Structure 1
Amino acid sequence: MFMRSRKQREPKATELQSPIAESLAEGVPEHLEMPLRQWIFSILGNDEENAQKVALDLRLRVETGDVYSPARFLASGTSREQLIDVIDSMLRLSAPSNARSFSPGATRRSYLGTYASDWRGTNIEALQEMLTLGGSAYRVNEACTGLERRVDETIHQAAAGALAASRTPKAGSAAEHMATAWQRAYGRDPDPSKAYSEAIKAVESASQALIEPNNSRATLGTMLGVIRNSPQQFTTAIPAANNGDDIAVVADMMRRLWQGQTSRHGSQNPTRLETQQQAEMAVHLAATLVQWFAAGLVRRTP
């Protein structure tokens, strides 16, 4: 269960100007408050019994005046910060028994009974879309048993570090592409295909000076060809064991990013756009590669 209060981390000076720091909204921002309240009431408005179970789970005292209505209280009487807890509880208590962890001897059923099957599914999809479009730092977890952070704080810091490291002449426009990729993956106007494309451009910009400095039209594809033909020309800060191929892990990461983009070219078959999850993975993968190249952790063999 989510904690009732959180101390907001003071951003570092280097983060204040970073698009990465500005892209995800903590808690419940103003523009998400009413949509989330309406979502809660659309589900609990006609089910006071289960609304009371959610209130009990959160240890909330229901205060609605003359008419006792846990549903109305949860949807409109709670603070903005508590809405995340309410939604998390609704998802967890309504989850099928095989999707949740139980203590020994616990009754294996949904706490909200058959009520769960009446609203799970399309309503959860609508919630997920709402959180994504609103730039929330939270999303519905894969099992739909609660909310989770879209980006772990460690990953958030790594992406900010990659952006800072790529602001060097030899990295070209990597910083701009990296910032756009992050915003298109996590910002208020998500565009998975654009995020994926910009992630590739970021890696191309950061790695060209090292791998193909004399090819102004270099792509990940052409650079992978150079590495494949002359792997001995490259090394990394951590040498491979037993005199192995130092650059292999870098090439594998670049290849995964390159081959994973399904919308790059047209064909006889319908073009399949990248999904949100694919875009997020591409951005995280690109952040690591960009930082390695920009920081000189991948280099030419002496």
Structure 2
Amino acid sequence: MATTWRRLTDRLNGKHDPEVLYEGLPDHLSVPVRQWSLKVMGNYVLVGVVCLRLRLPSSILNSRSPEEALANYQDKSNTMVFMEIVDALLAGLAEANPYTSGRYGVATRELRVELDYILTEGGSAYMVNPEGDGLCRRLNETLRESLDAAVQAADKQKQGAGAHLREAFAAAYGINPNPSVAYSQSVKAVEAVANPLFLPKSPEPTLGAVRSTLDQGRTKYEMVVQDRTGAPAGISAVVELLNLLWHGQRDRHAGGPTSQPVSQEAAETAVHAAALLVHWIATGAIRKK
């Protein structure tokens, strides 16, 4: 949960604007985050794995204390390097036995909670991701809850939509964002729940075909929510949201006059649009008349 504490001068001046979040590892976060990493490495054999995955200098593993060398590592040419180390440590923790406490008796869950507290209180732009296996950009609590609800609803369908949404989230908000993957996985998430429902007999179902089916069959479907007359609302909002998601993926085909890379902003929008569509479809908010 995000902190509500505000410094004295801000309270006295009536300042209520959200605090600007800090990228990388600013000075005030350096000591607590590095101390946290040392605690993690004291419990689990992760130094070698992190150094290999991040291609870090051999001087770390050749030092008298590789744990301390990694915990104090800096690279002036890469201000995000230590956040990448933290991200890799979280991945290593997720791969470790969740019931193993390590030689100091600290469980993996407690380590994740401790790090998330440090990052939140220090105003970091990053947080521990929902799976606990890495970092992601900090999200508004309401947006985070809507994504979680969509994933939970999708998981109950057992059609893979939840996994695609998780991939989309990680690609959009991870420490190394990939907008193209985020958008593609968002489309796949909607297809995973929509294709079996709206195109059960199609040999090659796609989101575009779902969009066309619903657009041409507006009189056959309705929403569980009511319109201004008290009758079930139409599905125009669904069709428009599908149109937005489908047409917005401008890198789906190369070489066209409107082809272009997916922007970070477009990817984040696609993730949340997909989450809403997945939630609606998975929970039966769209139904046949």
Relative to the length of structure 1, the TM-score reads 0.52
Over 3 Å counting, the alpha-carbon distance change for 1:223 and 1:79 in structure 2 is closer
Task: Tell me the amino acid that sits aligned with residue 163 of structure 2.
Answer: E
**Amino acid paired to 2:214:** I
SS at 2:155's partner residue?
Answer: coil
Paired position in structure 1 for 2:177: 190
Structure of larger gyration radius: 1
**Counterpart pick for 2:160 among 164, 173, 188:** 173
8 Å contact kept, 1:210–1:299: no
Task: Provide the C-alpha distance between the structure 1 equivalents of 2:31 and 2:263, rounded to a whole number of angstroms.
Answer: 30
CA-to-aligned-CA distance 1:104-155 (integer Å, 9 cap, x gap): xxxxxxxxxxxxxxxxxxxxxxxxx959x8688628xxxxxxxxx8521011
Shift of 1:271: 3.8
Q: Which residue of 2 aligns with 1:205?
A: 192
Equivalent position of 2:152 in the other structure: 164
Runs of 4+ aligned residues of structure 1 deviating over 2 Å after TM superposition are 1-4, 78-83, 133-139, 239-245, 267-271
Distance change (3 Å), C-alpha of 1:209 and 1:257: same
**Structure 1 portions without partners, runs of 5+:** 5-26, 38-77, 84-128, 140-148
C-alpha deviation, 1:258, in angstroms: 0.5
Aligned residues: CA RMSD: 3.4
Three-state SS of the structure 2 residue aligned to 1:166 is helix
User: In the alignment, what sits opposite 2:261?
Assistant: 273
What does residue range 63-142 of structure 1 map to in structure 2 within 5 Å? 78-80=28-30, 138=125
CA gap 1:183/1:222 in 2 versus in 1, 3 angstroms = same
Q: Any idea what the Cα deviations from partners look like across 1:82-110, whole Å, max 9, x if unmatched?
A: 99xxxxxxxxxxxxxxxxxxxxxxxxxxx
- The answer as to whether partners of 1:262 and 1:274 remain within 8 angstroms in 2 is yes
Question: Partners in 2 of 1:237 and 1:81 — Cα distance?
Answer: 52
Provide the rounded CA distance (Å) in 1 between the counterparts of 2:210 and 2:154. Answer: 19
SS of equivalent to 1:167: helix
Letter matched to residue 255 of structure 2: S
CA contact (8 A) 1:232 1:245 kept: no
2:278 aligned with 1:290: yes
Name the CA distance, whole Å, in 1 between partners of 2:171 and 2:5: 27
Aligned partner of 2:110 in structure 1 is none
Unaligned 5+ segments in structure 2 are 8-20, 34-78, 88-118, 127-136
Range 257-266 or range 225-234, more displaced: 225-234
Question: What is the SS of the residue equivalent to 2:226?
Answer: coil
The reply on whether 1:254 has 2:242 as its aligned counterpart is yes
Q: Distance in 2 between matches of 1:172 and 1:230?
A: 24
- What is the rounded CA distance, in whole Å, between the counterparts of 2:281 and 2:22 in structure 1? 37
Instruction: Report if aligned partners of 2:172, 2:264 keep a CA contact under 8 Å in 1.
Output: yes
**Correspondent of 1:236 among 211, 223, 227:** 223
* Aligned equivalents of 2:256, 2:22: Cα separation in 1: 44
TM-superposed deviation, 1:229: 1.7
The 5 Å alignment of 1:43-82 reads 78-80=28-30
Q: Please, what TM-score do these two structures have when normalized by structure 2?
A: 0.54
Change (3 A) 1:225 1:288: same
Residue equivalent to 1:10 = none
1:270: Cα distance to partner?
A: 7.8
Contact 2:161–2:278 (Cα < 8 Å) also in 1: yes
Shift of 1:264: 0.6
Determine if the alignment matches structure 1 residue 151 to structure 2 residue 139: yes
